[in-house]
Amino acid sequence: LANGPVISPPHTVDAFVKAFLHELNFGQGVPLSRSSVNDQYLALARTVRSYLMARWLETARRRRTDKPAKMVGYLSAEYLLGRQLDNALLATELTDIATEAMVACGIEIDDLRQQEVEPGLGNGGLGRLAACFIDSMATLGASSIAYGIRYEYGIFQQTFVDNRQVEKPDAWLSMGGPWGVVHPEMEVPVNFGGHVETYVGEDGRERRRWTPAWGVMALRYNYMVPGYQNGVVNTLRLWRARATESFDLHIFNAGDYAEAVRAQTFAENISKVLYPEDSTPQGKELRLQQQYFFVAASIKDFIQHTMPKDFDVRDLPERIIFQLNDTHPVIGIPELMRILLDEHDLEWEEAWAITKQCFAYTCHTLLPEALEVWPVSLMERLLPRHMEIIYRINEDFVAELRETYPGDELRVRRMSIIADHPERSVRMAHLATVASVKVNGVAALHSELLKEKVLNDFSELWPERFTNVTNGVTPRRFIKLSNPEQSKLISDTIGKGWVANLDRLEELVGYADDADFREKFRAVKAHNKTRIRNVLVSRDGIALPEGHLLDVMVKRLHEYKRQSLKLLHIVTLYDRLISGEVEPSTVTPRTVVFGAKAAPGYAMAKETIFLINSVAQTVNNDPRVDGRLFVAFPPNYNVTLAEKLIPAADLSEQISLAGKEASGTGNMKFALNGALTIGTDDGANVEIRQLVGDENFFLFGMTEPEVAELQAKGYRPGEYYERDPQLRRAIDLIASGHFTKGSRDAVSSFVGDLLYNDRFLALADYAAYIEAQDKVEAAYGDQDNWSRMAILNVARTGFFSSDRSIRDYIDRIWHVKTGV
């Protein structure tokens, strides 16, 4: 009985109602008649969770064999999960049963859906990618465990006050967190600070001993990750910091009990809040604490609790591959060395040989300022033993370099893990590259540029170590759940199999020429537009006009992504309308929707938000526009809003400066939902365009080599301003204070930066962008052909399923088994 199969609650409406009422009465402690919507939501979530739990136990049981298969340990500081309820219902095939069960209880299930606060435990692309990947690993039945941090506050809630971004804390757990299962008895200690000394062991060998100054406990929270209708449920294990009782003994001993308890809470800050920077992070001590905290807990958890008791650490490479989601978990490399050396008594060479096989590193950037470095002084204070180990890794590495490249000291200095300027610091990307089996970029172009630029020296030394895995998105959340109408149309046409085998979308290619199918496809889009209109009215009081081309730019706000270029386009359209240059009745009516959070300390990004809001206010209230142009900027763009907005879009804006966007994943979601892309030759746009065909993609702007060339010869944005009257008018209109109640001061930093700096060459690409947008308008005029193009976008982008990405990781990097 103790090891037998787990009995799942039956898949019937009756059983579901019973389980639900049980949760409501004995979990929440309320009768149905007196229950609040939140009580009902929590009870429903826990009911669904019990169905998941049965599969979770069953999955674990199946994997508990004598020779367990090699696992993937996905290490990520972020998981931008989005709401859980619908995905769990879909995966377990309980959507209809749950809906009927709620009806039987007199409850509208949609009201309960709205009650869920999404876990926003990530900033943007990187965190959402991790969420898509764990969905695909479960769907492929890959033996895996994902580790991260259970932040008490996720990505901030964005509000606008007088057109400016104001951040509010994201207390996502305040109404109860029904999805996490805590195991207080399984906590793991994590230590910090102190000093290291030499001692002589019983065998007469000298060893190093780390005596930490303080520590915390890592509390284990399990979240269930269901595969799509395959019975598999994997684990996402998020750690929460808890103070230890012995945390600060001397304060307790001093007799001030209350003060001592208060001081304990200091340790719990470690998992308090997600850092909202996603491109130019500062070397904050608490952030390093977070990184070590979750990685140390995860590695220890894997070795002590996930492996069998008699397990030999020398077998680790056959048992685990830790995938490093960017450099954030890279401190895991010296941590594993420390465990092998200090806790398992291995010799350096043996420990290093093992460690080198246990990690693989994914890089997500091309911006040099986004590469993480940590000051040596900070590392020595917080993790003295790890710093020692890093020095030793570097010593060996530098010696190897000097042998390979005698006399090339410049190269040695460039490649060293330790940088000397401007401050002695540890280059985490170098450490990751030196210790990893494979290093991958996230799109074809990005992986090439990684080899040519960011990690060029390393790819010359170890060419076989570098590979590409193009990103993907989960078709469950981003098509099946978010776009039910399109999903139904596809299933009615080619059957249901596409959800777990997205290449099958290719079978739609022929239907692009089918007038009846095109008609239905347009009806889907119209339906989704009505849906987003309703959402924005009730969510934000924004009333989108009807019958417009819906043009959407949603992504974090960053100069390299060039929201400013989009803004210049809007101002140009507006200028044409109010100057009488065009007759309003002849232009394609267009609504532009933005969604973007700015890092709270990123001044230029916040100025851009202010200006977008100011332009929206002016444009939307100017009668001369005659309803031909509308700009909406709903605050707090998140996964939940994305699910409603993306399926309604006609046009997807992917306009980063070529060579700066590593991949992008929003671009994939739009194409799969039948939007056409206007985009530069950047990131995964390149692959999207190759797949959908040039004629179904609006390409514009410089290529990466052209960008490099222009920058080499000296870029002067002012020249473009002088030469292009249309651009001049747009900038002058902004500078005049027209959008800012006459205030020139309010826009001076924005305008000044464009004219005299423009790091990301917006002005250089402006003319090409406007020209491409004019082509978009002309093309939209032919609705039938537009639908044809949109259908071909859907049919040819099945490649961008994260299932394919994970298969690539398995084939090229992990070499683990799949199958349920």
By the rule CB under 6 A, 120 interacts with ligand 26Q: no
By the rule CB under 6 A, 152 interacts with ligand 26Q: no
561 in catalytic set: yes
Least distance between ligand 26Q and beta carbon 561 (Å): 8
Q: H/E element holding 89?
A: helix 85-91
Query: Rule CB under 6 A: which of 251-290 touch ligand 26Q?
Result: 275, 277-278, 281, 287
Query: Rule CB under 6 A: which of 367-426 touch ligand 26Q?
Result: 372
* Residue (138 or 599) nearer to ligand 26Q, CB: 599
Taking alpha carbons only, the member of 481, 806, 514, 412 closest to residue 646 is: 481
By the rule CB under 6 A, 602 interacts with ligand 26Q: no
Copy the structure tokens of residue 529: 């537009």
* Residue (136 or 740) nearer to ligand 26Q, CB: 136
Least distance between ligand 26Q and beta carbon 284 (Å): 7
By the rule CB under 6 A, 557 interacts with ligand 26Q: no
Least distance between ligand 26Q and beta carbon 277 (Å): 5
Copy the structure tokens of residue 75: 């290490």
Catalytic residue, candidates 235, 365, 665, 677:
665
By the rule CB under 6 A, 124 interacts with ligand 26Q: yes
Taking alpha carbons only, the member of 574, 551, 575 closest to residue 563 is: 551
For tokens 């710093």, the residue is 387
555 in catalytic set: yes
By the rule CB under 6 A, 795 interacts with ligand 26Q: no
3-state secondary structure (DSSP) of residue 654: strand
For tokens 């208060």, the residue is 262
Catalytic residue, candidates 597, 669, 738, 804:
669
* Residue (212 or 281) nearer to ligand 26Q, CB: 281
Least distance between ligand 26Q and beta carbon 520 (Å): 32
By the rule CB under 6 A, 125 interacts with ligand 26Q: yes
Q: Compute CA 794 distance to the chain's CA centroid, rounded to the nearest angstrom.
A: 22
Q: Which stretch, 90-98, 450-458, 659-667, 748-756, contacts ligand 26Q (CB under 6 A)?
A: 659-667
256 with 332: CB under 8 angstroms? Answer: no
Mind giving me the DSSP string for 732-768? HHHHTTTTTTT-SHHHHHHHHHHHHT-TT-HHHHHHH
By the rule CB under 6 A, 659 interacts with ligand 26Q: no
Least distance between ligand 26Q and beta carbon 278 (Å): 4
Copy the structure tokens of residue 505: 């979308």
CA-CA-CA-CA torsion for 517, 519, 522, 524, nearest 10 degrees?
A: -60
713 in catalytic set: no
By the rule CB under 6 A, 731 interacts with ligand 26Q: no
DSSP conformational letter for 273:
B
* Residue (73 or 127) nearer to ligand 26Q, CB: 127
List phi, psi (to 5°) of 441.
Answer: -90, 175
Give how many residues touch ligand 26Q by CB under 6 A: 21
Query: Rule CB under 6 A: which of 430-469 touch ligand 26Q?
Result: 442
644 in catalytic set: no
By the rule CB under 6 A, 662 interacts with ligand 26Q: yes
Mind giving me the DSSP string for 406-429? TT-HHHHHHH-SEE-SSS-EEEHH
For tokens 């200091």, the residue is 266
By the rule CB under 6 A, 607 interacts with ligand 26Q: no
Q: Which stretch, 162-170, 203-211, 663-671, 786-794, contacts ligand 26Q (CB under 6 A)?
A: 663-671
Least distance between ligand 26Q and beta carbon 276 (Å): 8
By the rule CB under 6 A, 642 interacts with ligand 26Q: no
**What residues does 215 pair with on adjacent strands?**
191
Binding residue (CB under 6 A) for ligand 26Q from 143, 436, 591, 663: 663
Q: Computed from CA positions of residues 97, 100, 104, 109, in that sequence, does the dihedral angle turn out positive or negative?
A: positive
Q: How large is the angle between the packed helices 603-620 and 563-578, nearest 10 degrees?
A: 20
DSSP conformational letter for 3:
T
- Listed in sequence order, the residues at least 6 apart from 820 whose beta carbon sits closer than 8 Å to its beta carbon are 141, 227, 230, 231, 232
Taking alpha carbons only, the member of 599, 611, 561, 584 closest to residue 747 is: 611
665 in catalytic set: yes
Q: Given the rule CB under 6 A, which residues bind ligand 26Q?
A: 123-126, 129, 275, 277-278, 281, 287, 328, 364, 372, 442, 471, 661-665, 683
| Residues known to be catalytic | 364, 555-556, 561, 665, 669
